[in-house]
Structure 1
Amino acid sequence: MFIELENHKAHIFNHNEYDDSKESIILIPGAGMDHRMGNLFNFLDLPNSFNILSIDLPGHGYTSGPVNADIKDYSQFCNDVISALKVQNPIVIGHSMGGLVALDLATINKNTNPILMNTSYPLMVGEILLQHAKGNLDQAAEFLTKYGVRVLPEVEIKSSGFGVMGSGFYGRSKGVIKSPYGTKTVESDPEREIKLYPLKKIFNQTHKEILSKDLQACSSYRVEIKEINNIEGIKFIFGEKDKLARFNEESELIKHVDIDTNVRILEGSGHFPYFEMPDKLALVLKDIIN
């Protein structure tokens, strides 16, 4: 569905039929991603009790631009969406950059119930990744999946449009080629490419600079620690093997919370648990929400 806001035509993806009588779960995607992230989740029976909504941030997916790429601007946008929908006390699940947005949202809207997935604070992004992300979404996606994915799920490509085992899409089996989103290194082993495709394609956006701007927004975001400490009911999910947003019990984000109660660590998972082990994540989310 689309919502007319003051500065944006906001696109909100309904994962189930919207019901005013239900509470809502709102997903905020990570850097350079959009509502398609939500399609990788396993929600189990949560749609029976909750509206499941994925937000396209400004300039992402089907939401109109411009892309200001500022965490506080994104959180205000999400708050405007929540107000327009008249959603009361939503559960807000933010992944990576989306976790920072959910965190900041909770500082301006005390009625949200944030679950931060694979998010650290401060969320510093390495210069190598920032350079890869400048106008080259393919190389950035390659970097993120190389260091972020620890478990490759078994997937079945339902469309033949991707080509023979992934590499056929580009007409060659190995080497660096140009793609619609930058330059791409085609691996000689196409099996990994096939399995990563459902995740990588989500980084493909209309504007090639989106991911770069989002990553810079992550690095520059700051919030007063006392504001974080005033957030009630905040929950965290980390991947045990996550190299991009590691669990650190001494971080400003974590050190004042009861880890046993409020932090879950997914054994063996990297930075993208909804892709790597959606069934295990589903059980953790259901337990937290219930």
Structure 2
Amino acid sequence: MKFNEDVISDSYIYCKKLATEHYENFPVGSFLIPAEKRKYVYAIYAFARTADDIADSNERSEKKLNDLNKLETDLYKILSNDKSESIDSENLKFLIALSDTITKLKIPVEEFLKLLKAFKQDSVKNSYNKFNELIEYSDNSANPIGHLILYLFGYNEIKDKELFGYSDKICTALQLTNFWQDVSRDLEINRVYIPEEEMNKFGYSMRELMENIQNDNFRSLIKYLTEQTRKMFNEGYKLIDLVNGRLKYELKFIYKGGNEILNKIEKINYNVLTERVKLSKWDYLKMLWQKKKI
């Protein structure tokens, strides 16, 4: 579908506004990303933010799935030059910029379909039994984001397969970090990402979690999960050694941010049911100062 430059520009402006109004752990469109590339990050974020808001809404599962399926259909439509009149007007606001991003960066649409698959899963599934289920979930929810950043900097999954593999390690670790950070928040919307099999290993139960019981077994469980997550971060660190320029610093910043969240969880003695850790402005400044020392 062809749009004039003014319409495309307006769509990117909308995406930037949406992105810069909603971030927490990591600044979207960081200044470490070249200015000419930041608009693409805003477009990607707008898509993910919209889908995430649908999945996290209080609507019934059927309504969430319908809205996510509509977003998927609209994405196909805008990429296949269908008439814009047939696309949801709210989706069109950011899909114009996203279509331009996909075309210019030569990104496979499958990356966005995997993200939607994760959001659909969130709409119908609220707990997990095995740790490996979280790894599979992260393959759809988090790993595509890392791929998109690599595409943004000119890498390709075919010729740079090793880099994409290391990226998956870091992105999965980031997703897991977010789970341990948000245990209490997720409980409020009836979601549990701590695998029940892991709870059982530490003598902790789903009933205790639902009752917000925070005992030594719970703290040992969260400690174990954060240690496993830190190992995964370390397994992906080689990615930082294999890239150059600003991307190296961007990845160091993200890597440090994820590990800092884990550090904060450790400092509160793993009491994530009563305290929710997050990065402060000082943390960001400290990470920037230390970016060459990671």
Same fold (TM over 0.5): no
More strand by share: 1
More helix by share: 2
Q: Which has the larger radius of gyration?
A: 2
Q: Compute the TM-score of the two structures, normalised by the length of structure 1.
A: 0.29
Of structures 1 and 2, the one scoring higher in RCO (CA 8 A, sep 6+) is 1
Q: Compute the TM-score of the two structures, normalised by the length of structure 2.
A: 0.29
